[in-house]
């Protein structure tokens, strides 16, 4: 725990109630730990951006100013540049999502869009439905708005539709504000929702009149298996989040949200209040990058890297982890989710793991309600193969020390 938590806080009585409800990001905290020398970072989900053609990106950055002049350094509209939105519409069309640029808003990362989802939809005590486990950054963003979170379990085919149906029956029509799902290479589970389940999810959402939010940062990171149509391509009412973070550069903080127009108008108000508008410079840089470089060729290289790192992680798990452990087999994305026997406490085990030179995300961070105690998220995105293997070996020592025979 950071030392600031232990210090007397003379501002305590000034804080709004919502601050009480903010979750810490374990990953942000762990960033400090991984930056210690000798710790192998299997915790953070930073993409590998080593395939980026830096010279070309520099050229793009230069053209932002030479071709656009002062416009690139000025405020812009809260929706985002029409040119950027038109480009995004073109990219979405390749995925079967046919929308107008004015159904799109540009946001400062999908993370900001997630915060806006909370701001637009959640009153304190409102039900929302998430997958269990779910993206810890989404749980963190939503927590500020004090929802009552219903967790629907997953299996290898994604969110379990029998469990979702049970939840929806219990809550009744419009009984929850939204269902939040990450259908592709889910963070943290690494699993992908099958087409049948996607269809069923939309049927159920329709039957119970519940909004669906589809978060899809990893859709273009498939390195194995068949592409599956996004929910948004099958139902225009779905709210869809996409981002440049995993297909270009997370440092840009540039993403998009596609939503029905009345919802978009509310999100626009959030954008006005939060940041006025996204950086014009970064939007034009993205336009330059996605128009004038072979970004798809660059992605082919990134996917090859992820694939061999996934292979390195899975074979190290097979080699070193005890037979009682289970893990997922992602066909894309950045994460493997490991479940240990139920008596394990991966949160408590973390300090021993760090001591032994390896970091991961304890599963409890990916649930709003204390589940996930015996599981962990392992990212294969960042460290090279030999480090991944060594990291898994180190972790297996910590686990072996705690196995009940």
Does the footprint of ligand PMP cover residue 109 (CB under 6 A)?
yes
Residue 80 sits in the site that holds ligand PMP (CB under 6 A): no
Q: Both tokens of residue 51?
A: 């395939």
Out of 132, 217, 368, 372, name the contact with ligand PMP by CB under 6 A: 217
Instruction: Give yes or no for residue 277 binding ligand PMP (CB under 6 A).
Output: no
Q: Does 243 bind ligand PMP (CB under 6 A)?
A: yes
43 lies in the binding site for ligand PMP (CB under 6 A): no
How many other β-carbons are positioned within 10 Å of the β-carbon of residue 90? 12
CB nearest ligand PMP: which residue? 109
Q: Closest Cα partner for 340 from 377, 370, 367?
A: 377
Nearest one of 365, 363, 358, 344 to 387, comparing CA atoms: 358
Among 26, 30, 40, 45, binds ligand PMP (CB under 6 A): 45
In this chain, which of 68, 140, 211, 245 binds ligand PMP, going by CB under 6 A?
245
Which residue of 84, 111, 140, 374 would you call a contact of ligand PMP, by CB under 6 A?
111
Binding piece for ligand PMP, criterion CB under 6 A, among 120-128, 243-251, 290-298, 338-346: 243-251
Q: Which of 215, 271, 331, 347 binds ligand PMP (CB under 6 A)?
A: 215
Is the CB of 189 or the CB of 399 nearer to ligand PMP? 189
Q: Any contact of residue 84 with ligand PMP (CB under 6 A)?
A: no
- Residue of 99, 154, 247, 255 interacting with ligand PMP (CB under 6 A): 255
Q: Is residue 130 classed as helix, strand or coil in its secondary structure?
A: strand
Pick between residue 270 and residue 325 the one whose CB is nearest to ligand PMP.
270
In 241-294, which residue ranges form alpha helices assigned H by DSSP?
A: 261-275, 280-292
Using the rule CB under 6 A, is 137 a contact of ligand PMP?
yes
- The yes or no reply on residue 391 touching ligand PMP (CB under 6 A) is no
- What one-character-per-residue DSSP string does 52-96 give? S-HHHHHHHHHHHHHHHGGGGGS---TT--HHHHHHHHHHHHTTT
- Taking CB under 6 A as the binding criterion, the range among 32-40, 87-95, 104-112, 198-206 that sits at the site for ligand PMP is 104-112
Closest to 360 measured CA to CA, from 332, 338, 387, 340: 338
Residues 299-328 that bind ligand PMP (CB under 6 A): none
Q: Residue 329's CB: how many other CB atoms inside 10 A? A: 11
Q: Does 250 bind ligand PMP (CB under 6 A)?
A: yes
CB closer to ligand PMP, 69 vs 251: 251
CA–CA separation, 193 vs 43, rounded Å?
23
Which residues does residue 242 pair with via DSSP β-bridges, in sequence order? 256
Residue 381 sits in the site that holds ligand PMP (CB under 6 A): no
| Structural tokens at position 267 | 């999100």
Closest to ligand PMP by CB, 76 vs 219, is: 219
Q: Of 325 and 338, which has the nearer Cβ to ligand PMP?
A: 338
Helix (H) or strand (E) holding 235: none
Structure tokens at 92: 């979405």
Contact 175, 148 (CB under 8 A): no
182 touches ligand PMP by CB under 6 A: yes
Q: Considering the rule CB under 6 A, would residue 333 count as an interface residue with ligand PMP? A: no
If binding is defined by CB under 6 A, does position 187 make contact with ligand PMP?
yes
Q: Which window, 152-160, 242-250, 272-280, 295-303, contacts ligand PMP (CB under 6 A)?
A: 242-250
Contact (Cβ atoms closer than 8 angstroms) between residue 130 and residue 150: yes
Is 363 one of the binding residues for ligand PMP (CB under 6 A)?
no
| 375: three-class secondary structure by DSSP | strand
CA 51, 299, 295, 102 dihedral sign is: negative
Nearer to ligand PMP, 197 or 253 (CB): 253
Helices and strands per DSSP (H, E), number in the chain: 14, 14
**DSSP summary character for residue 240:** E
**Residue 68 CA to its chain's centroid (Å):** 32
Cβ neighbourhood burial of 101 (10 Å; 0-12, 13-18, 19+): middle
User: Which two tokens mark 170?
Assistant: 């219990």
Nearer to ligand PMP, 76 or 109 (CB): 109
Nearest residue (CB) to ligand PMP, 109 versus 330? 109
Binding site for ligand PMP (CB under 6 A): 45, 109-111, 135, 137, 182, 187, 215, 217, 243, 245, 250, 255
């Amino acid at each position: 725990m950071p030392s600031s938590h232990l210090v007397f806080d003379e501002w305590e009585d000034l804080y709004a109630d919502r601050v009480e409800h903010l979750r810490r990001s374990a990953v942000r905290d762990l960033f400090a730990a991984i930056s210690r020398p000798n710790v192998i970072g299997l915790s953070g989900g930073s993409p590998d951006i080593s395939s980026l053609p830096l010279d070309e990106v520099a050229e793009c950055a230069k053209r932002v100013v030479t071709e656009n002049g002062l416009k690139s350094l000025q405020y812009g509209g809260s929706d985002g540049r029409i040119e950027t939105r038109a480009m995004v519409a073109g990219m979405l069309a390749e995925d079967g999502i046919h929308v107008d640029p004015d159904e799109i808003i540009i946001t400062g990362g999908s993370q900001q869009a997630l915060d806006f989802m909370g701001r637009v939809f959640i009153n304190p005590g409102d039900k929302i439905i998430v997958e269990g486990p779910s993206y810890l950054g989404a749980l963190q963003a939503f927590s500020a708005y004090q929802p009552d979170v219903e967790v629907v379990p997953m299996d290898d085919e994604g969110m379990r539709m029998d469990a979702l149906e049970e939840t929806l029956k219990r809550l009744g029509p419009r009984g929850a504000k939204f269902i939040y799902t990450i259908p592709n290479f889910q963070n943290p589970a690494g699993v992908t929702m099958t087409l049948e389940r996607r269809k069923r999810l939309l049927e159920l959402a329709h039957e119970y009149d519940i909004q669906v939010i589809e978060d899809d940062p990893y859709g273009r990171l498939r390195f194995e298996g068949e592409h599956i149509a996004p929910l948004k391509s099958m139902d225009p009412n779905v709210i869809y989040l996409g981002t440049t973070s995993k297909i270009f550069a997370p440092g840009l903080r540039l993403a998009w949200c596609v939503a029905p127009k009345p919802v978009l108008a509310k999100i626009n108000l959030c954008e006005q209040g939060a940041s006025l508008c996204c950086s014009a410079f970064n939007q034009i840089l993205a336009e330059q990058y996605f128009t004038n470089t072979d970004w798809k060729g660059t992605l082919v290289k990134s996917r090859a890297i992820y694939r061999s790192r996934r292979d390195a992680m899975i074979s190290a798990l097979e080699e070193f982890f005890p037979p009682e452990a289970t893990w997922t087999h992602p066909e894309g994305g950045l994460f493997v989710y490991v479940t240990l026997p139920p008596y394990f406490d991966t949160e408590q085990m973390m300090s021993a793991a760090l001591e032994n030179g390896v970091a991961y995300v304890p599963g409890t961070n990916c649930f709003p309600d204390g589940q996930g105690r015996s599981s962990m998220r392992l990212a294969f995105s960042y460290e090279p193969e030999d480090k991944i293997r060594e990291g898994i070996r180190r972790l297996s020592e910590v686990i072996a020390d705690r196995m009940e025979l």
